[in-house]
Structure 1
Amino acid sequence: MAKHKNEAGRISGHVELTRRKRGSQFYAKYRLADGRQVMKLLGPSWSGRGRPTVGYFTRKAAEQALQAILTDARRGQLPGSLTTGATFTDAAAEWLRYVEHDRKRRASTIEDYRNVVRNNLLPEFDEAPLEEITTEWIDGYRARLVAEGRLSDRTINKLLVLLHGIFRRAQRVYGLVANPVAAVDRQPVHRSGDFEVLTPGEVAALARAAESEQDAALFVTAAFTGLRLGELRVLRWTDVDFSKRLVHVRRAYTHGELGPPKSGRVRSVPLIDDVARVLDGLSRREHFTGSDQLVFPNPVGNPLDDSKLRRRFYRALERAGLKRIRFHDLRHSFGTLAVQVFPLSDVKAYMGHADIQTTMVYVHHVPAGDAAERLSGAVAGSGDFVAEGRPDSAAA
């Protein structure tokens, strides 16, 4: 029985052959630097002649496998070979601190992260030592969420992404050897490409049914500029350039916090005649027309309450006899119009998308209006596709 030791004599191990009814098995038995003893199954013993079948071990192969384990342990690269002394709760708190203060995520994003940790992750992993949270445990958690059916595949993937970030930070801060989330499969997610939009005529009907001139102007601006609600709530008159026919998107207001747009970048959007007309009307009101004042303020000049605005939006839809859609679908309405007029790269910039694939959904939703005509032209002249001298299939 060969033994292997490091110079300090703390990490050592040997190979054991255990005979069982179903055949002999090789085990690696070793002691880690912190004194823990581990016995790991290597695989069945090979007793035949010639090269062993894959998965079987000779004594020499078992010794080589043990040596590889001990080498990883001495380098600190063996999963579970080092104890961090940290729990999942510790790691989650450190990650939240890191993304808030170091990575400077938006306040609304941090609040979403905290809710996910508190409501989904802590109930599962809580005070478990980081080394005890294995890939098998996390994959079992994923499978259980899928079976319960409470969360969508997309939401489950978001949980896994967040978990991966927590453990990656733990590797850097606590010296955790491996990230157990790395080998967990994500759920397959396919965008349907289907969403609700309003036509320009329906946007006009919505505006006529609005409870105020300001609401009407806001609905029209949302549908024909693609601004998000948080961006509309803090749009200022200095952001509206009537001479250059542009709307500059410089900030957003979500969860009571003022910050940059979702993309983190300032962008500019074309100011079409219909939007310019309704905004020009608002600019002639008695109050709140200063360059640094809000275009769509509440009665005291502050950002509108988004919940109250949504309720007024739904009432206007009902009065106009329109289908019930989300306020965010006004942004989709702009996207479906824009892809019919502008290059895809321009639409991406106007909407503040980080990924062109996000913009592509509008191409799939609204193919070119002359697509059928152009395709017919490509096929025209190829021949007569009606069968001659054969009975109609229905008659047959």
Structure 2
Amino acid sequence: MSRQAFGSLRLLPSGRYQVRYRHNGERHNAPVTFTTKNAAREFLKRTEREIAAGTWRSAAEDAAEREAVAAARAAADAEAARRGTPFGTFAERWIGHRYNAAGKPLAATTRAEYERLLRGPLAPLADLPVSSIDLATVQDWRAAQLSGGKVTQTARAYALLRSILSDAVHRGLLAEAPRPIRGAAGATTGKRVAPPTADELATILDTLPERLRAFALVAAYGGLRSGELRELRRGDVELTGGDVVLHVRRGVTHAGGRAVVGGPKTAAGVRDVLLPEVAARPLRAYMAEHVPINADALLWPAADGVSHLRQSTIARHWQRAREAAGRPDLPLHALRHYTASHYSAAGATSREVADRLGQASEGIALRYTHSTGREADLVAAMDAAARRA
């Protein structure tokens, strides 16, 4: 131990020097040790001068101040990073961590659709900081999109944009979400899907390849979605006596170049569908001739007989058939409208129509129902009922 006029020095076993000193009755150690005695003495002299000048701070105070400064700087940097996060970067992260109402990751097709909207209609917003997106920005973006005639796509993109910005508010990246634009998320082209007439459906069936006729009949009288039909397997078809019941439990979509099998579009899509004879009889005949006696065999596979039939393949044949029927406006989806309309005309309630289509909402199911040309018969029945009353 070497005592100095102020403080003391101690040679440690390591060969380094430790500095000790007292101030206000408390003993302090220098925050570091020194390689030479001169360096240790210089530290003591400097410390003595700081105490005399009133600028001295203890090592603990210095460390606390450094930590506080570092924390403040880190918080400021993080805040700046958050405020400056580009919309595209945040949106990609949002999709990657998004879960559905059941707590499961997004379906592959939903993810693919969101990514398509980000690359397409939402691309002009990609480089903007999330914090800068306000109502005027959204209005200008929407007007530019609608000017190109993409009404439905713009509505879908706007709905996605609102969801992403809502989460940005929750995460503190945006002060408040832009005020909703009334009707923007539900905009449509105004084109009403009209199902085929009985004669048009007959022409379509005659024009389709033989292997797709039963497919179209089941779609028209069973109300199944295309993905549900393309995933149907022999084991999903119950043949009891003269009845044919389809056990709808799955659907298929294509994303990223591969088939993705999952549950139906909605929980209500899990259902059993009893087919009328007009569709049941042709389906029985088709299965007897074309579907292997194997519970896992697809009813309508691709040309290789094993993989799933693609929607694009059906669309190619459907386009030729609908043109032959004089209905170039007719989407394949119109066959679900055909089911709903005729099921309703046969006396089904709106709930029963929704159940057959696999829709949770009766309101949505009602959109599928259309006039079947029975107005005169219905009015006559009303007259008869009035006379009996």
Q: Give, as a single letter, the amino acid of the residue that structure 2 aligns with 1:184.
A: I
Q: Which runs of 5+ in 2 are unaligned?
A: 1-74
Q: Give, as a single letter, the amino acid of the residue that structure 2 aligns with 1:234.
A: E
Q: How does 1:282-301 map to 2 (within 5 A)?
A: 282-285=286-289, 288-298=292-302, 299-301=304-306
Distance in 2 separating the partners of 1:186 and 1:128 = 25
Distance in 2 separating the partners of 1:193 and 1:362 = 13
- Give the paired residue count: 297
Q: Give, as a single letter, the amino acid of the residue that structure 1 aligns with 2:280.
A: A
Q: Which runs of 5+ in 1 are unaligned?
A: 1-33, 36-79, 381-396
What's the counterpart of residue 318 of structure 2?
313
Work out whether residues 89 and 126 of structure 2, in 8 Å CA contact, stay in contact via their aligned partners in 1: no
Larger radius of gyration: 2
What SS class does the counterpart of residue 360 from structure 2 fall into?
coil
- Could you list the per-position Cα deviations for residues 169-201 of structure 1 after superposition, in whole angstroms to 9, with x for gaps in the alignment? 222334533112x34333374796832322345
Q: Give, as a single letter, the amino acid of the residue that structure 2 aligns with 1:143.
A: A
- Could you list the per-position Cα deviations for residues 312-364 of structure 1 after superposition, in whole angstroms to 9, with x for gaps in the alignment? 23334455x55332222222211211111211101101112232222212445
C-alpha displacement of 1:95? 1.4
Distance in 2 separating the partners of 1:312 and 1:83 = 51
Distance in 2 separating the partners of 1:150 and 1:322 = 26
Deviates more, 1:363-372 or 1:279-288: 363-372
Change (3 A) 1:367 1:355: farther
Work out whether residues 300 and 309 of structure 2, in 8 Å CA contact, stay in contact via their aligned partners in 1: yes
- What's the RMSD between the two structures over aligned residues? 3.2
C-alpha displacement of 1:113? 0.7
- Could you list the per-position Cα deviations for residues 74-117 of structure 1 after superposition, in whole angstroms to 9, with x for gaps in the alignment? xxxxxx99963422122211211122696522211111111111
Q: How does 1:68-87 map to 2 (within 5 A)?
A: 84-87=83-86
What's the counterpart of residue 53 of structure 1?
none
Deviates more, 1:227-236 or 1:137-146: 137-146
Deviates more, 1:94-103 or 1:125-134: 94-103
Work out whether residues 353 and 359 of structure 1, in 8 Å CA contact, stay in contact via their aligned partners in 2: yes
Distance in 1 separating the partners of 2:344 and 2:250 = 24
- Mapped pair 1:257 → 2:251: no
State, as a whole percentage, how many aligned pairs show the same letter: 25
Distance in 2 separating the partners of 1:94 and 1:339 = 45
What's the counterpart of residue 221 of structure 1?
218
Change (3 A) 1:126 1:305: closer
Work out whether residues 88 and 118 of structure 2, in 8 Å CA contact, stay in contact via their aligned partners in 1: no
TM-score scaled by structure 1? 0.66
The one of 239, 242, 245 equivalent to 1:242 is 239
Q: How does 1:101-250 map to 2 (within 5 A)?
A: 103-122=104-123, 124-146=124-146, 148-152=147-151, 154-180=152-178, 182-187=179-184, 189=187, 194-212=192-210, 214-243=211-240, 245-250=244-249
Q: Give, as a single letter, the amino acid of the residue that structure 2 aligns with 1:226.
A: G
Change (3 A) 1:191 1:317: closer
Q: Give, as a single letter, the amino acid of the residue that structure 2 aligns with 1:108.
A: T
Change (3 A) 1:87 1:280: same
